């Protein structure tokens, strides 16, 4: 918790002076705080203990950091980051011009932190600290007031561009889907997808700029899905992003496709941490723990087929059009769970497995055909979907409980499945868990989610040079 | 007039900037499978070196293919986005044309690339770079029969190691010459600039033959 020190907080004043005797002499704080109306001290408290503080001069529209300290035994716990973020956010909210500070040139840790928050060197004061130089650093705030990210997504069969403001506000998105082309082949054909991407790319970019009434000059940075996905498809988006970055000299931000799906929820409601994200799509089935923005810990994932892939294959077996997922969801809602199917990977891990379930459905259909029995599609869809739901909910609820987490988000194309949504909704309400689902338009691949994720990657300084290369398979980190 | 040339249809980056009939800067670098990683970075360094900005370019000349499908798309994406964003003129040529233009051989020139399963991408050009046989996807055997029927001396031009047993000369692009040959070509709307694959995808071919059989039944 971060608290501002008040004139009459005698208890805090004396412990500050004691804990940070390297900075303050006895009586210093009281004297200063009474005499200097611009001085403010913010303390980082754990219950009643002071772990760190930041002292600033807030002079009209600028802030100067005078002192900034975290107790040695509490360093490397992001307390410094939190204090600094607090000051920066305050400055943004109050429309300050800039924040300045001075740091010893040999204080690498501090300089690294300031750079991370994009403080820039202004000048060097030779031998300011005895033999050590002082570096004057500055961070402009006004310039950063609104950040517009252009997002680009082309990892599979959708070419999409979007502009998102400050990570949360979608200005406009244009997506060109190739689904009608790939339907002819019963699935996405990589080379056809790549060809369609390059055919569409400038049309979609133009439409996005027209729709948002923005120009490339209004854009702060360019975020692009660099993986995982179809390599040829990814390549077109990445090459496009790199070219725009080169032409307009804008920062280039690589975004992991899964983080995009997670941040699709951020466009519905600002993410609350810590949270568990269940990512379910045609290519992914993963449980991810997030303590804060851009911190991803994978708890488990599928050992074989992704859940969406399994839906499509089962769809093919029972003879419904590609993609099978939405049709099965519909059929399931009117069927009964009359067929017996095994619950896959019913163990203590957070992993999933769907290939056994897929085989069980194929065998069942085959056997029934051999016996001359007609398959009841609705009932088979319902039996299948129930098993999928059981597997997904059991592991997810277990993770929430074991990590003692109250926030759940669903992400990815399969999160549009009504049967799965309803089951999670009921379970979360029963267990007092906050849940967010992406709106249906954000659940499939789109660039708005890439731009939203890209905003937080930008704040985290995850910027790439022009050698960014697409990768078909890569872990989220 | 500043002209920007780019060809990524092989494992090499061939790129250059031509102004006032002189090659101001160029790059001929083998990147193999890492072409997508380094091509634009290298181009950016080339611009920096001669202190020219993208906005100073008047026209983009891009090799549209045939060649590696992925390779083609690298240069084409760069060229399309460049031309569209900065409203620059753009025109294309085939990789086979570039190969023919770069050779001073004084009889029939046959730029050729392997296309697997006995097929090649090739075109036939005379000593003045006039087209005798259009660039196409063709059985090597059939092409050779055709060439023999011309009863003229000919030479293959290729860097393709799979075609090393042919009577060939290696390809080393003469960027200034190529640019001069095509710089006055009509500019194309960047939206409509498309790679030249010269071949359908396998899935499309299979679907086509399925549909054909349905018609004949």
Across the interface, do A185 and B69 touch by the CB < 8 Å criterion?
no
Residue A464 scores a pLDDT above 50: yes
Mean pLDDT (whole number) for B188-212: 86
State both tokens at A4. Answer: 């501002």
**Who among B191, B197, B207 is closest to A185 (CB)?**
B207
Q: What is the DSSP letter of B64?
A: -
CATH of the domain at B140: 3.30.420.200
Identify the pLDDT of residue A322.
Answer: 81
Domains A148-264+446-459 and A269-437 agree in fold: yes
Residue A49 scores a pLDDT above 60: yes
A180 band by pLDDT with thresholds 50, 70 and 90 = confident
Q: Which residues of A fall within a CB distance of 8 Å from B40? A: 239, 242-243, 246, 466
B7 and B87 co-located in one domain: yes
Q: What whole-number distance in Å separates Cα of residue A397 and Cα of residue A84?
A: 35
CATH of the domain at B37: 3.30.420.40
A441 band by pLDDT with thresholds 50, 70 and 90 = confident
Residues 219 to 238 of A: which have CB under 8 A from any B CB?
A: 231-232, 235-236, 238
Mean pLDDT (whole number) for A436-456: 93
**What number is the ipTM of this complex?**
0.95
B25 and B88 co-located in one domain: yes
| DSSP string computed for A154-180 | -SSSEEEEEEEETTTEEEEEEEEE-HH
Fold for the domain defined by A2-103: Aminopeptidase (3.40.630)
Closest by CA to A445, choosing from A258, A310, A269, A298, is A258
Residues 166 to 185 of A: which have CB under 8 A from any B CB?
A: 184-185
- Would an 8 Å CB–CB cutoff place A203 in contact with chain B? yes
Fold for the domain defined by A269-437: Nucleotidyltransferase; domain 5 (3.30.420)
Give the residues across from A121 on adjacent strands.
A137
Q: What whole-number distance in Å separates Cα of residue A255 and Cα of residue A450?
A: 7
> pLDDT tens digits, residue range B100-148?
999 999 999 999 999 999 999 999 999 999 999 999 999 999 999 999 9
Residue A21 scores a pLDDT above 50: yes
**Who among A192, A235, A470 is closest to B203 (CB)?**
A192
Identify the pLDDT of residue B215.
Answer: 36
Q: How many CB atoms lie within 10 A of CB A404?
A: 7
> pLDDT tens digits, residue range A182-241?
888 888 899 999 999 999 999 999 999 999 999 999 999 999 999 999 999 999 999 999
Domain membership of residue B179 (yes or no) is yes
Q: What whole-number distance in Å separates Cα of residue B204 and Cα of residue A295?
A: 43
Residue B213 scores a pLDDT above 80: no
Domain membership of residue B215 (yes or no) is no
B154 and B178 co-located in one domain: no
> pLDDT tens digits, residue range A87-139?
998 888 788 889 999 999 999 889 988 988 888 888 999 888 888 999 999 99
B91 and B17 co-located in one domain: yes
The lowest-confidence range among A140-144, A294-298, A424-428 is A140-144
Reduced to 3 states, what is the DSSP secondary structure of residue A76? coil
Q: pLDDT > 70: what percent of chain B?
A: 96
Number of residues in chain A: 477
Across the interface, do B40 and A242 touch by the CB < 8 Å criterion?
yes
How many A/B residue pairs have CB atoms within 8 Å?
93
Domain total in chain B = 2
B123 and B140 co-located in one domain: yes
Range of the domain at B6: 2-95+172-201
Residue B217 scores a pLDDT above 70: no
B66 and B139 co-located in one domain: no
Residue B214 scores a pLDDT above 70: no
Identify the pLDDT of residue B216.
Answer: 33
Q: Which helix (H) or strand (E) holds B92?
A: strand B89-93
Instruction: Please give the mean pLDDT across all residues of chain B.
Output: 94
Q: Which CATH architecture has domain A148-264+446-459?
A: 2-Layer Sandwich (3.30)
Query: How far A247 CA lies from chain B's nearest CA (Å)?
Result: 6
Across the interface, do B70 and A232 touch by the CB < 8 Å criterion?
yes
Mean pLDDT (whole number) for A332-345: 93
Closest by CA to A391, choosing from A355, A440, A437, is A355
Q: pLDDT > 90: what percent of chain A?
A: 74
Considering only alpha carbons, which residue of chain B is nearest residue A465? B41
Identify the pLDDT of residue A144.
Answer: 60
């Amino acid at each position: 918790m971060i608290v501002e020190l008040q004139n009459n907080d005698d208890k805090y004043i004396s412990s500050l002076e004691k804990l940070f005797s390297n900075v303050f002499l006895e009586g210093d704080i009281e004297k200063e705080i009474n005499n200097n109306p611009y001085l403010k001290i913010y303390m980082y408290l754990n219950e009643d203990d002071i772990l760190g503080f930041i002292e600033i001069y807030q002079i009209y529209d600028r802030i100067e950091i005078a002192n900034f300290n975290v107790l040695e035994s509490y360093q490397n716990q992001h307390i410094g980051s939190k204090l600094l973020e607090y000051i920066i956010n305050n400055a943004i909210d109050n429309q300050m011009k800039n924040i300045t500070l001075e740091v010893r040139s040999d204080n690498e840790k501090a300089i690294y932190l300031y750079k991370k928050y994009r403080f820039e060197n202004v000048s060097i004061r030779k031998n300011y600290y005895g033999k050590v130089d002082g570096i004057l650093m500055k961070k402009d705030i006004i310039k950063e007031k609104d950040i517009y990210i252009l997002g680009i997504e082309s990892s599979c069969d959708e070419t999409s561009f979007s502009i998102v403001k400050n990570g949360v506000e979608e200005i406009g998105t244009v997506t060109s889907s190739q689904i009608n082309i790939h339907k002819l082949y019963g699935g996405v054909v990589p080379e056809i997808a790549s060809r369609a991407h390059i055919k569409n790319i400038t049309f979609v970019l133009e439409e996005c700029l027209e729709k948002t009434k923005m120009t490339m000059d209004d854009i702060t940075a360019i975020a692009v899905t660099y993986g995982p996905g179809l390599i040829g498809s990814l390549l077109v988006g990445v090459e496009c992003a790199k070219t725009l970055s080169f032409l307009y000299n804008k920062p280039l931000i690589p975004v992991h496709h899964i983080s995009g799906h997670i941040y699709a929820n951020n466009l519905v409601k600002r993410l609350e941490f810590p949270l568990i994200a269940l990512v379910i799509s045609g290519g992914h089935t993963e449980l991810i723990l997030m303590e804060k923005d851009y911190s991803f810990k994978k708890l488990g994932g599928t050992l074989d087929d992704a859940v969406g892939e399994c839906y499509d294959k089962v769809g093919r077996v029972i003879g419904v059009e590609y993609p099978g997922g939405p049709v099965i969801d519909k059929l399931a809602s009117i069927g009964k769970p009359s067929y017996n199917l095994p619950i896959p990977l019913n163990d203590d891990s957070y992993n999933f497995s769907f290939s056994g379930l897929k085989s069980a459905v194929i065998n069942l259909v085959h056997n029934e055909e051999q016996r001359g029995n007609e398959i009841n599609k609705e009932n088979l869809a319902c039996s299948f979907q129930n098993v999928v739901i059981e597997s997904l909910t059991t592991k997810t609820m277990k993770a929430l409980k074991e990590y003692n987490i109250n926030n759940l988000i669903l992400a990815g194309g399969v999160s549009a499945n009504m049967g799965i949504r309803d089951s999670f909704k009921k379970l979360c309400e029963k267990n007092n868990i906050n849940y967010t689902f992406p709106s249906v338009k954000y659940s499939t691949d789109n660039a708005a989610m890439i731009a939203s994720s890209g905003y937080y990657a930008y704040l985290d300084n995850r910027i790439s040079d022009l050698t960014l290369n697409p990768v078909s398979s890569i872990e989220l980190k | 007039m500043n002209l920007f040339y780019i060809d990524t249809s092989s494992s090499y980056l061939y790129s250059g900037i031509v102004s006032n009939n002189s090659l101001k800067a160029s790059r001929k670098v083998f990147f193999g499978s890492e072409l997508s990683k380094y091509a634009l970075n290298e181009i950016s360094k080339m611009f920096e070196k001669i202190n020219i900005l993208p906005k100073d370019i008047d026209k983009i000349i891009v090799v549209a293919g045939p060649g590696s499908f992925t390779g083609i798309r690298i240069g084409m994406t760069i060229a399309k986005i460049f031309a569209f964003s900065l409203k620059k003129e753009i025109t294309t040529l085939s990789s086979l044309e570039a190969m023919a233009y770069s050779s001073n051989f004084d009889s029939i020139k046959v730029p050729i690339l392997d296309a697997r399963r006995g097929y090649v991408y090739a075109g036939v050009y005379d000593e003045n770079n006039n087209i005798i046989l259009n660039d196409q996807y063709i059985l090597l055997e059939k092409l050779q029969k055709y060439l023999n029927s011309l009863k003229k001396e000919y030479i293959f031009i290729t860097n393709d190691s799979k075609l090393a047993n042919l009577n060939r000369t290696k390809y080393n692009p003469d960027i200034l010459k190529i640019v001069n040959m095509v710089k006055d070509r009509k500019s194309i709307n960047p939206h409509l600039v498309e790679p030249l694959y010269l071949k359908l995808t396998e899935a499309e071919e299979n679907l086509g033959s399925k549909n054909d059989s349905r018609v004949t039944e």
